Structure 1
Amino acid sequence: MRCPFCGFSESRVLDSRSAEDGYSIRRRRECAGCARRFTTYERVDELPLVVVKKDGRREVFSRNKLLAGLVKACQKRPVSMAALEALVDEVERTLRSTAELEVSSRQIGEMIMERLRVLDEVAYVRFASVYREFRDVQEFLQEIQRLSENAVKV
């Protein structure tokens, strides 16, 4: 494992522990060249999950892309990065637990919105506005109305 600071190819493992509910291993390393410390994660190499976009294009599932979208939706909201990573982990685990190698972007979007609604309603509306491509204020109001109705029922 190359050091991200100096590029030296040798490091020693200082600590290993289970991460992401046992789905990866977190290793704390120290570079033999510059003695700086860094963290690596080891995951099982899985078959690629392909996302079928709205226009029919296909691209490989990217947890980083999904996380980046959630970070934007949660900007200036009281939602921790750990909560967002847990949400992405849960969605990815759910998707990979099926035998399907292709999944629609619509299915992923609905899974994210379902979980985000519980986490933070403002972030949910932000995410939904991009995902569902709201065109005007009326669509925002309709979504907020649906949220209000669901909150009253609960």
Structure 2
Amino acid sequence: MRCPYCGFAQDRVVDSRESKEADSIRRRRECEGCNKRFTTYERIDEIPYMVVKKDGRREKFDRQKVLSGLLHACEKRPVAAIKLEQIVDSTEAFVVDSPERERSTSEVGELIMAQLKEIDTVAYIRFASVYRDFKDVREFKAELEELLGGDSRKRK
């Protein structure tokens, strides 16, 4: 919280009270830079962030579900947990930054795959095979060839 008077980032809460309607909390704060007091209100963000599935259904964004998918893709791979947490954080930020409070699962999946591709190609292929729902070996092979073709271009 930045002070509205001087912009200092440190303050302390002097008083907290529930509003009359009990839908928010009123906090009196004192800036530790200029010692002026100001009021803030905290409310619960009731409209959930949504993802739009391929069939048009809408579902609440669930960071645990994203993490679970990443954990499965990275099983027995040398990928640090902090890297997975960073992917989940950036994915959540992507959904939260949407002006409509929703993103399509294709946008979310492509974002995750792009980040996973940079970290571990085997985990990327595992995630892509589930996300893109490969129907047969040809689709899987095409994805591998694209990945290998991209790697050989990077080396040159």
The one-letter code of the counterpart of 1:153 is R
Q: Equivalent residue of 1:108, what SS?
A: helix
**Larger gyration radius, structure 1 or structure 2:** 2
Cα pair 2:95 2:102 within 8 Å, conserved: no
CA distance in 2, matches of 1:64, 1:45: 20
Aligned to 1:92: 92
Aligned length: 111
Which deviations, in whole Å up to 9, do the C-alpha atoms of 1:26-68 show, x marking residues without a partner? xxxxxxxxxxxxxxxxxx9654211111111111000000000
What's the TM-score, normalizing by structure 1?
A: 0.68
- CA distance, structure 1, for counterparts of residue 88 and residue 116 of structure 2: 10
TM-superposed CA distance for 1:103, in Å, is 0.9
Per the alignment, residue 151 of structure 2 pairs with 151
Compared CA separation, residues 73 and 54, structure 1 to 2 (3 A): same
Partner of 1:81: 81
Tell me how far apart the structure 2 counterparts of residues 57 and 94 of structure 1 sit (CA, whole Å). Answer: 19
RMSD, aligned α-carbons? 1.5
Counterpart of 2:68 in structure 1: which amino acid? A
Superposition pairs of residues 1-154 of structure 1, within 5 angstroms:
46=45, 47-154=47-154
Please give the alpha-carbon distance, in whole angstroms, between the structure 2 residues aligned to 1:122 and 1:134: 15
Aligned structure 1 segments of 4 or more residues deviating by more than 3 angstroms: 44-47
| Paired residue secondary structure (1:128) | helix
- What amino acid is the match of 1:65? K
Gaps of 5+ in 2: 1-42
- State the Cα distance separating 1:99 from its structure 2 match: 1.5
Cα deviation, 1:104-130, whole Å, max 9, x if unaligned, reads: 111100100011100100000000000
How far apart, CA to CA, are the structure 2 residues paired with 1:138 and 1:98?
A: 35
The structure-2 alpha-carbon separation of the partners of 1:45 and 1:117, relative to structure 1 and needing over 3 Å to count, comes to farther
